[in-house]
Amino acid sequence: MTAAKKLPPEFAADHQARSGPDLPRARTAEARVASAARTAYINARLLDPASGLDAPGALLTEGAEIADLGPGLFADGVPEGIETVDCGAHCLAPGLVDMRVQLREPGEEHKETIMTAGRAAAAGGVTTMVCLPNTTPVIDDAALVEFVIARGRKAGGANVYPYAAVTQGLEGKRMTEMGLLHAAGAVAFTDGTKAVADALVMRRALSYASTFDLLIVQHPEEPSLAAGGHMNEGEMSTRLGLVGIPAAAEVIMIERDIRLVELTGARYHVAHISTAEGVDAVRRAKARGLPVTCDTAPHYFGLNETAVGEYRTFAKLSPPLRAERDRQAIVEGIKDGAIDAIASDHAPQDQESKRLPFAQAAPGIIGLETLLPLILELHHNGHLTLADLVRRVTSAPADLLGLEGGALRKGGPADLVLFDPDRPWKIDAKRFLSKSKNSPFDGRPVQGQALRTAVGGRTVFVRED
């Protein structure tokens, strides 16, 4: 399929002018030298889980990079000519790396765009978004990968990296050209919100991926068991008269794929894990030394199936919200390391998609602006130290995907978030910068908020209130 057929027409010419093997996989050279400006962040609590740093200190950025940092920096004051930001003893950490975001562009810009998602990300302290390939058209060839990278760079907000599809058109039948897609900038491969259901197709994908050390990310749901389901299967689904999705649909898919990992040796990642049995399967695979990892999302440890209430469509998700025992198991999985990372699972839906009978409503919630305060609940409730928690949304996802962000280090990207972990506020969906407002957390009291966000040394958000 040619680029001209697949790219949105207004960007086809731009793609033809820019395309080539030297398209950046990560930060562009022009971004690195875009500015020689220097900024000093003083009176900060430097928090870098990658190096174990958690101490009072200061940090200096120069252009798009971190020039220096440490407890003794600027002990004699900041030299003239350097912009100074007083952090007020709040936490200065690597910007959050959100490894599961649906940007809806191209194809559904009425729900979200790369521009609006970037603004929402900045307000939430997210400096890197990794977007799913389930757009229209599907990100299944190099032209679309390059298009998303170019649009992300043009938007000028958070860094944007695309996943590419495992199978053409997300149809689960024929593999994509993963080598070419990776060369164009795809950081990993997934069929997004669909599972790769055919075991032979998945085996071939894992075999190919193992040859080039690529990561395969799976939506863990056996589709024939989940077909027609709308919420977690159990007493509540029966009472509401809704077809349920059994927890077994998740663990069956995970355990099948783990067997295929044994055959191929490929790196395999389970997305938005939601059940106790699923976490146990991943835990056992890790204990056997298999290259299996997983992430979850705040709704799976912050909510359970009762959030559906009386057919509340904002709580309709895929996978669905599970039973309380599953929610508790997700918390334990994060605590003991069975769950490697936390992502927002940002899935914007417009009112026309949500204000429908529960069975017809689209699944998904937004999460870029609530990721930080919702994960901080795990810290405030005593489950994790602040450093362990921040690692799950910075260095852990960056390492999984081979990204250069997620850490505070000399010469590294100046992607930063300044946040107050204790600041109380109430989530108000009406004030979100995302185009869509579909959040079941609307009205929830939380603690912790991003105060300032910088991407490539450039301030992209400052909280005024």
Known catalytic residues are: 345
User: In this structure, are residues 189 and 212 in contact, taking their beta carbons and an 8 Å threshold?
Assistant: no
Q: Is the dihedral of CA 206, 208, 213, 217 positive or negative?
A: negative
User: In this structure, are residues 21 and 72 in contact, taking their beta carbons and an 8 Å threshold?
Assistant: no
User: In this structure, are residues 195 and 222 in contact, taking their beta carbons and an 8 Å threshold?
Assistant: yes
User: Cα–Cα distances in Å, from 458 out to 68, 83, 186?
Assistant: 16, 12, 25
On the 0-12 / 13-18 / 19+ scale of CB atoms within 10 A, 37 is middle
Supply angle C-alpha 18, 63, 60, rounded to 5. 150
User: In this structure, are residues 253 and 220 in contact, taking their beta carbons and an 8 Å threshold?
Assistant: yes
Assign 99 to helix, strand or coil: strand
348 preceded by a cis bond (ω within 30 of 0): no
Tally of CA atoms within 13 A in the half-sphere of 99 that contains its CB: 33
Q: Is the dihedral of CA 341, 342, 347, 348 positive or negative?
A: negative
Residue 450 pairs in a beta bridge with 419
Q: Is 436 left (phi over 0), alpha (psi -120 to 50) or beta?
A: beta
For the chain, the distance separating the N- and C-terminal CA atoms, rounded to the nearest angstrom, is 49
Alpha-carbon gap, residue 60 to 384, rounded angstroms? 29
319 preceded by a cis bond (ω within 30 of 0): yes
Local structure of residue 305 (DSSP, 8 states): G
Question: Could you tell me what percentage of the chain is helix, strand and coil, using 3-state DSSP and rounding each to the nearest 5?
Answer: 35, 25, 45
Going across the sheet that includes 159-162, the strands are 96-101, 126-131, 159-162
